[in-house]
Amino acid sequence: MTLPVFGHTNPDTDAITSAIVYASLLSRLGVTAKAYRLGDLNNETSFVLKTAGVEVPDLLEALPEGTEVALVDHNESGQSISGLSGLKVTRVVDHHKLGDLSSKDPLYLRFEPVGCTGTILGKLYREHNLPIEGWEARLMLSAILSDTLHFRSPTTTDTDREMGVYLAQIAGVTDIKAYALEMFAAKSDLGDTPADKLLKLDYKVFPFGGKQYGLGVMETTNPGYALGRKAEILEAMKQEKAAKNLEGVFFSVVDILEETNQTFVLDDAHAEVIKGVFGADTQDNVADLGNRISRKKQIVPAFEKYFG
Amino acid sequence: MTLPVFGHTNPDTDAITSAIVYASLLSRLGVTAKAYRLGDLNNETSFVLKTAGVEVPDLLEALPEGTEVALVDHNESGQSISGLSGLKVTRVVDHHKLGDLSSKDPLYLRFEPVGCTGTILGKLYREHNLPIEGWEARLMLSAILSDTLHFRSPTTTDTDREMGVYLAQIAGVTDIKAYALEMFAAKSDLGDTPADKLLKLDYKVFPFGGKQYGLGVMETTNPGYALGRKAEILEAMKQEKAAKNLEGVFFSVVDILEETNQTFVLDDAHAEVIKGVFGADTQDNVADLGNRISRKKQIVPAFEKYFG
């Protein structure tokens, strides 16, 4: 039996590369595993896979009940393949909080409060005394640079920094900053991507105060692009809210060079929430959330605190 | 802040020694930590601590809300300190299935499907390239021998065997079998322990089919002792069932040398459950459950399968 390995829906670079790398690691440990993706690649991830010379994983849509699976970079059912509770999760490598996961049998769990799943995978290679291939190192390094915004996000730990430098040597990346900027430029090159896709670039639904909120983030070196398409994106947010019966939808445009956050706000009701959660005013459907560039560390906790 | 580290209530050797060893490991990694126990030591554990020259950890009864804690050898709130959901679990090392644990923040989780938490702790020392002290090795070895019944329980993995042999060398235990028999003899030396304490030697409450069942296990080299006190123990089971409003209470006398299981059965209603779950008949309040010596691997899964 081949073990399917996958990251969260609306995959980012960490979700995709961690699936590929963990499947590779497991295979070397004698566990036949295959990486999948639960959605389309963003431009940054496409750039990373191309640069590393690695194929895009197959799309996974459904699995028969009871199938054994390995999760990377997520653990909550709401961010995973549909019907996760009917599957048998035997392994999870993740750096998020623990959500609604449970198991019927003992399993492998490897969670660490670091900035990136790639950092934990790098540790696993070292613990197993396995040499890291150049392409594996590049994938893990790329995930770390992506998740930590080149070591600048508040989620970044010393472990991420050390692992990033270590992996860069193996990958032959001599100028980490230049490579990160290449990745970010690829991510920001969105062309005529439809507005509903822009909303979903990095989008997760969270329960706050018993109700569901969708939080989209666009990390970019070119925030002007999103601001220029504000009307379209607001319309996509409105449609998403209605289609999924959500209590609210927000979209944060994060300038990863300047480290700023301009969040799109649908209407007065949404503006009231933003005022309550962050004390921020909304003008022309945009609220300035200052340097809150991490959804995990700065945005979600503020919502949770506000809604108790 | 000192991080409290503790195993489950009704502690066994793994719960106690893993708390001591993990606190020691964390302290060496720069995290100030202190081991506690959530209940009285059994005779085996007292023997182990005495042999290793290690002090009995302090009893922990309650902690202020929001206190950061580390759990070993358990993760379910029903087996932990009361009010666990109001504490902040930052670390868990465990070899059980994942229950109702969740977190508000990223955390350290290290779960492996091995026979003993001590085995995982041994790996952690190796991964951190930390030398293991003789007393630490003896505590981890003792936990492994206790949990795996000297490598004979079906929960035993190759990893447990390898780690046990490795730790025995460091601990200076040249005859592992002789040491295991000493431990088991200490465990079986129950003297005039009151019947309600016998029931709780190794006792956990599980939800099956939406109702609560208490499952006690006495692992012993002298099953005749428990059979001789059957009437008292049945009375203690009856009182426990009423006091905790349980759907059922069972007590398994496991002969760890012969690898047999004689389970005490309260009444006809309980006998019907045992017939349904294991196909076993009850005579004189005792059902022969054959070689089912592992509650985790053989008893609980059978109940779960039966009650769906």
CATH (domain of A11):
3.90.1640.10
Q: Tell me what the mean pLDDT of segment A256-283 comes to.
A: 96
How much is the pLDDT for B308? 81
Question: B97, A113: Cβ pair inside 8 Å?
Answer: no
Nearest-Cα distance to chain A for B260, in Å, is: 23
Measured between alpha carbons, how far is B210 from A4 in angstroms, rounded to an integer? 32
What pLDDT, on a 0 to 100 scale, did the predictor assign at position A202?
87
What is the percentage of chain A residues whose pLDDT exceeds 70?
100
Whether A248 and A277 have beta carbons less than 8 Å apart is answered as: no
Q: Are residues A133 and A204 part of one domain?
A: no
In terms of DSSP H, where are the helices of A86-244?
Answer: 117-127, 134-147, 158-171, 176-188, 195-199, 223-228, 230-243
State the nearest Cα–Cα gap between A73 and chain B, in angstroms.
12
Q: Is B88 on the interface with A (CB under 8 A)?
A: no
Structural domain including A92 reads 3-185
Percent of chain B with pLDDT over 90: 95
Q: Do A98 and B107 touch (CB under 8 A)?
A: yes
Same domain as B134, residue B238:
no
Which positions ≥6 away from A272 have C-beta within 8 Å?
Answer: none
How would residue A232 be classed by pLDDT, with cut points 50, 70 and 90? very high
Question: Which residue in chain B is spatially nearest to A127 when comparing CA positions?
Answer: B127
Q: pLDDT (tens digit, 9 = 90+) per residue, A92-123?
A: 999 999 999 999 999 999 999 999 999 999 99
Is the distance from CB of A264 to CB of A253 less than 8 angstroms? yes
Q: What is the pLDDT of residue A128?
A: 94
Rounded-to-integer distance, Cα B96 and Cα A288, Å: 46
Does A179 fall in a domain? yes
- CA B283 – CA B49 distance, rounded (Å): 39
Pair (B145, B282) in one structural domain: no
| Residue A112 backbone phi and psi in degrees, to 5 | -140, 145
In a domain, A72, yes or no: yes
A97 inside 8 A of chain B by CB: yes
CA atoms of B12 and A100, how far apart (whole Å): 28
Mean pLDDT over residues B58-82, rounded?
96
Q: What pLDDT, on a 0 to 100 scale, did the predictor assign at position A1?
A: 84
Which of B95, B111, B114, B305 is best to mutate for the A interface (most A CBs within 10 A)? B111
Contact A203, A15 (CB under 8 A): no
For residues A248 and A109, membership in a common domain is answered with no
CA dist A21 → A25, A117, A266, B190, B242 (Å): 6, 10, 39, 52, 53
**A190 assigned to some structural domain:** no
Cα–Cα distance for residue pair B49/B41, rounded to 1 Å: 10
* B211-234 mean pLDDT: 95
Q: Do A98 and B109 touch (CB under 8 A)?
A: yes
Segment A148-184, tens digit of pLDDT: 999 999 999 999 999 999 999 999 999 999 999 999 9
Number of folded domains that form chain A: 2
Q: What is the mean pLDDT of residues A113-135?
A: 97
B23 within some domain: yes
Q: Across all residues in chain B, what is the average pLDDT?
A: 96
Pick from B102, B107, B296: CB nearest A113: B107
CA–CA distance, A228 with A225 (Å, rounded to integer): 5
Is residue A90 over pLDDT 90?
yes
| Cβ–Cβ gap A95/B106 under 8 Å | yes
Q: Is pLDDT at B106 greater than 90 in this prediction?
A: yes
Q: Is B225 on the interface with A (CB under 8 A)?
A: no
**pLDDT at res. B284:** 96
Contact call for B97 and A110, based on CB within 8 A: no
Q: Is A307 on the interface with B (CB under 8 A)?
A: no
Minimum distance, in Å, between the CA of residue B231 and any CA atom of chain A: 35
Confidence of residue B189 (pLDDT cuts 50, 70, 90): very high
Please state, in angstroms and rounded to a whole number, the distance separating the CA atoms of residues A266 and A248: 9
Out of A95, A108, A113, closest to residue B112 by CB: A108
**Which amino acid makes up residue B307?**
F
CB contact under 8 A, A111 and B112: no
Confidence of residue B174 (pLDDT cuts 50, 70, 90): very high
Helix B268-278 and helix B300-307, axial crossing angle in degrees, nearest 10: 90
- A93 sits in the region (left: phi over 0; alpha: psi -120 to 50; else beta) called beta
The yes-or-no verdict on residue A9 having pLDDT over 90 is: yes
Please indicate, yes or no, whether residues B27 and B141 belong to a single structural domain of this protein.
yes
User: H/E element holding B218?
Assistant: strand B211-220
Please give the pLDDT value at position A296.
Answer: 86
Residues A170 and A217 in one domain: no
Of A105, A113, A304, the CB nearest to B108: A113
- Which chain A residues touch B14 with a CB distance below 8 Å? none
Residue A291, amino acid:
N
Q: How far apart are CA B71 and CA B59, in angstroms?
A: 15
* A88 contact B CB<8A: no
Same domain, B174 and B83: yes
Q: Is A210 a domain residue? A: yes
Separation of alpha carbons B26 and A127, rounded Å: 18
CB atoms within 10 A of CB B73: 30
Domain assignment present for B230: yes
Are B137 and B156 in the same domain? yes
Split at pLDDT 50, 70, 90, the class of B122 is very high
Between A204 and B272, whose confidence is greater?
B272
Residue A214's DSSP bridge partners are A205, A249
Q: Half-sphere exposure (CA, 13 Å, Cβ side) for A18? A: 32
Structural domain includes residue A202:
yes
Contact A97 B104 (CB under 8 A): yes
> Which of B160, B185, B210 is the last residue in one of the domains?
B185
Q: What are the tens digits of pLDDT across the range A10-32?
A: 899 999 999 999 999 999 999 99
How many beta-carbon contacts under 8 Å exist across A and B? Answer: 71
Question: What would the two tokens of residue A118 be?
Answer: 């790639």
Q: In sequence order, what are the residues at sequence separation of 6 or more whose Cβ sits closer than 8 angstroms to the Cβ of residue A225?
A: A188, A190
This complex has an ipTM of 0.86
Q: What is the CATH number of the domain that holds A271?
A: 3.10.310.20
Give the integer Cα–Cα distance in Å for B287 and B283: 6
- Same domain assignment for residues A134 and A16: yes
B297 band by pLDDT with thresholds 50, 70 and 90? confident
Sign of CA dihedral B253, B256, B257, B261: positive
Residues B124 and B215 in one domain: no
Structure tokens at B127: 């991964």
A106 part of contact set with chain B, CB < 8 Å: yes
**pLDDT score recorded for residue B84:** 96
CA distances from A91 to A11, A87, B84, B114, B257 (A): 19, 12, 25, 13, 34
Asked if the model's pLDDT at residue A201 lies above 90, the reply is no
Task: Find where tokens 């108790």 sit.
Answer: A308
Residue A308 confidence (pLDDT) above 90: no
> Is A304 within 8 Å of A277 (Cβ atoms)?
no
What the block records as the tokens of B283 is 């005579």
Query: Which of B116, B150, B185 lies at the terminal end of a domain, its last residue?
Result: B185
Q: How is residue B56 annotated by DSSP? A: P
Same domain assignment for residues A118 and A162: yes
Whole-angstrom distance, CA of residue A245 vs CA of residue A243: 6
Residue at a domain's end among A118, A153, A185: A185
- Closest B-chain CA to A101: B98
Nearest to B24 by CA among B140, B112, B143, B162: B140
Contact B109/A105, CB-based, under 8 Å? Answer: no
**Both B127 and B73 in a single domain?**
yes
Cα dihedral: A251, A257, A259, A261 (round 10): -20
Q: Is residue B190 part of a domain?
A: no
